[in-house]
Amino acid sequence: MLAVIESTEGGYCAIFERHLNHPVNQVWGMLTENEKLGTWFPELKADELREGGYIKFDMGDGTFEKMEILELTDEAVLEYTWGEDIVRFELAKEPNGCRLVLIEKINKLTDHTPRDLAGWHVCLDVIEKLLDGKTVNSRKVEWQKWYEQYVTAVEDL
């Protein structure tokens, strides 16, 4: 299911929601523990996991972009800057696991927006598969499928 994309005051908001059959602490580990974070988003690394700390994005050329952690509530909320945008993960316990919500607050829609949205969509699918003990074959094929749908969704705004 596609993210819900809405126009908001001052920009846009994309909301992804997943219901995972895993406890909050396991999903939280995927978002915050570097060895687990690297399994679904190898370019990211938590550095100083605290409000005011950073998530680092490896640019692949020996440099890193530092994304400031704006809010951190253990096993509940992780929010940080993402360029001019903001990424927020929220976790909530459910009877059979937890609910994972990813909210991307988008300052301005660009040609790159559908790429990011498709990327986040696939990342969340990968997190679920890894937690389920499954392997991930081709992210690129999955990304391409979702990218086309997000191009249309963004155009419709």
- Nearest-angstrom CA–CA distance, 97 and 25: 10
Backbone angles phi, psi at 72, to 5 degrees: -145, 115
- Mean pLDDT per 10-residue section of the chain, whose length is 157 residues: 94 98 98 96 94 95 95 98 96 97 97 96 96 90 95 94
Query: What does the buried/exposed string (b/e) look like for 87-119 if buried means 16 or more CB atoms within 10 Å of the residue's CB?
Result: bbbbbeeeeebbebebbbbbeeeeeebbebbbb
Q: What is the DSSP letter of 36?
A: H
Structure confidence at residue 135 (pLDDT): 87
What is the Cα–Cα distance from 83 to 87, expressed in whole angstroms?
10
Four-residue CA torsion sign, 112, 115, 121, 125 = negative
Q: Output the pLDDT for position 137.
A: 82
- Read off φ and ψ for residue 132, nearest 5 degrees: -80, -5
Confidence at residue 21, expressed as pLDDT on a 0 to 100 scale: 97
Q: How many Cβ atoms sit within 10 Å of the Cβ of residue 31?
A: 21
Give the strand pairing for 97-106 and 11-20: antiparallel
The one-letter code for the residue type at 72 is L
